[in-house]
Chains A and B, each alone.
Chain A
Amino acid sequence: MPFKNLKEIIVRQDFFSPGHGLCAGCGAAQIARIVMKIAGKNSIMINATGCLEVSTTTYPWTAWKVPYIHVAFENAAAVASGIRAAYDALIMKKKLDKDVNVVVLAGDGGTADIGLQALSGAFERGDRIVYICYDNEAYMNTGIQRSGATPYDAWTTTSPAGQKTLKKDLMGIAIAHRVKYAATATISYLLDAANKVEKALSISGPSFIHWLQPCTIGWRYDPKLTVKLSRLAVKTGLWPLYEHYDGFNKLTVQVPRRTPVLEYLKLQGRFRHIMDNQEELAKIQSYADELATKFGLGPVTE
């Protein structure tokens, strides 16, 4: 049953405890919290290396109230496949009667760049796992190096004049593997995101969620704007919220009137160098228009 309002999510128990070392206003904490609220007690969390891992499991403590395993960048999906196979075997031998949710949380570096081959393998084998990529659009944990998911013109320490290539289309890669369920989500539309996690958990095959997460350090903005920025990403059309199920794309959050991309870019320090450059701004706007045409979003209105 899909959730109808936020209250239904709020009353659920938290399996992610406060006191972790993530930055004030970090979106990854919110993603972990919502995912654990929906997945519940009966789940195993696999975490690739990244911000979320280093700051929630400082030895000898843990912020997770569920079984948790940390693996390297490369093999989060492969480890999830192994755990799935082990549980499937135990259930088949009737040594266990309860099923578990196998959930992977990995950053964009661990998904789009380093972990892509393991992810591709898990998709191709059809293992029943939920792979969630929290995308903060660079390697934030090691000091804001560019990744395959860094958007066009964004500043990072290894692209000081702005990234000159477009963001890697992870959803396209997942859909090309014919996964049963793939979706995009973001932290400002939590009801939509919660329903997508719920649906992903119920699928009998691999499912993938690409979750945009503003990063206060790497995107260079005031911590209080985390939710506002992720909302603007949807409103400008740069992050369309859709799901892919049974071979069809379906828009889940319609944007009848789009905001100009400038509203989104001017709040972030990583785009400061193009603020006076009309040519580059027009390029980003045309990219947003392209996405809007593809997914059927509304026109830009001031």
Chain B
Amino acid sequence: MGRLPKWNEMQEGFITNTLSESINKTGTWRTFKPIIDHSRCTKCGWCVIYCPEPCISFESSGDGKVVIDYDFCKGCGICAEECPIKCIDMVMEE
């Protein structure tokens, strides 16, 4: 990224670049990594809706299994705590 305009160089009603925060890979913050046991997952979607990032989603292709985007997952563990059948394990990041 080049040099950014300073506050006194901005015009009135300046619109910041449409660059999304998604450029920050917050996955590096993580200590524990959630791993889904797909053989037991019922695809209820609780982890998808409770993820604050949001970085858990249903796969759009294939059988629509639940996937975690580890680029952004901060490892808070809400998905593992809220999973009704406890099929998400938090394992120490290597």
- Complexed CA–CA distance, A61 and B77 (Å): 26
- Complexed CA–CA distance, A99 and B12 (Å): 25
Question: A22 contacts B52, CB within 8 Å?
Answer: yes
Interface of B is mostly: loop
Q: Are A10 and B55 also in contact (CB < 8 A) when A18-B22, A24-B75 are?
A: no
Q: Which of chain A's residues has its CB closest to B50's CB?
A: A227
Q: Are A18 and B19 also in contact (CB < 8 A) when A6-B49, A7-B45, A10-B48 are?
A: no
Residue among A17, A23, A58 with the highest chain B CB neighbour number at 10 A? A17
Which residues of B sit under 8 angstroms from A18, Cβ to Cβ?
21-22, 26, 53-55, 69, 72
Q: Are A21 and B24 also in contact (CB < 8 A) when A6-B46, A60-B17 are?
A: yes
Question: B20 contacts A24, CB within 8 Å?
Answer: no
Query: Is B59 an interface residue, CB under 8 A from the partner?
Result: no
Contact check: which of A17, A23, A226 meets B22 at CB < 8 Å? A17
Contact check: which of B23, B24, B29, B49 meets A190 at CB < 8 Å? B49
- Convert A60-77 into 0s and 1s, putting 1 for each residue whose CB lies closer than 8 angstroms to a CB of B: 111101000000000000
- Complexed CA–CA distance, A82 and B26 (Å): 36
Which residues of B sit under 8 angstroms from A216, Cβ to Cβ?
76
Which residues of A sit under 8 angstroms from B78, Cβ to Cβ?
25, 223-224, 226-227
Chain A residues 48 to 100 lying within 8 A of chain B, measured CB to CB, are 56-63, 65
Question: A61 contacts B20, CB within 8 Å?
Answer: yes
- Complexed CA–CA distance, A1 and B29 (Å): 40
CB distance from A232 to the nearest CB of B (A): 13
Which residues of B sit under 8 angstroms from A33, Cβ to Cβ?
52, 54
Query: Is A26 an interface residue, CB under 8 A from the partner?
Result: yes
Contact check: which of B26, B45, B75, B81 meets A19 at CB < 8 Å? B26
- Convert B13-31 into 0s and 1s, putting 1 for each residue whose CB lies closer than 8 angstroms to a CB of A: 0001111111111100110
Which residues of A sit under 8 angstroms from B20, Cβ to Cβ?
17, 19, 61-63, 65
Which residues of A sit under 8 angstroms from B87, Cβ to Cβ?
none
Contact check: which of A20, A190, A224 meets B81 at CB < 8 Å? A224
CB distance from A276 to the nearest CB of B (A): 27
Question: A61 contacts B54, CB within 8 Å?
Answer: no
Query: Is A14 an interface residue, CB under 8 A from the partner?
Result: yes
Which residues of A sit under 8 angstroms from B72, Cβ to Cβ?
18-19
Q: Which of chain A's residues has its CB closest to B45's CB?
A: A10
Q: Are A225 and B4 also in contact (CB < 8 A) when A19-B23, A19-B24, A60-B16 are?
A: no
- Complexed CA–CA distance, A25 and B90 (Å): 14
- Complexed CA–CA distance, A6 and B45 (Å): 8
22 CB-based A-B contacts, threshold 8 Å: A9-B49, A10-B48, A10-B58, A17-B21, A18-B54, A19-B22, A19-B23, A20-B53, A21-B21, A21-B26, A24-B74, A25-B52, A25-B74, A25-B76, A25-B78, A57-B16, A62-B16, A187-B50, A224-B77, A224-B80, A227-B81, A227-B82
18 new A-B pairs (CB below 8 Å) besides A19-B72, A24-B76, A61-B17? A10-B48, A10-B58, A14-B54, A16-B54, A18-B54, A19-B22, A20-B53, A21-B26, A24-B29, A29-B53, A30-B50, A60-B4, A190-B49, A190-B50, A224-B77, A224-B78, A226-B52, A227-B50
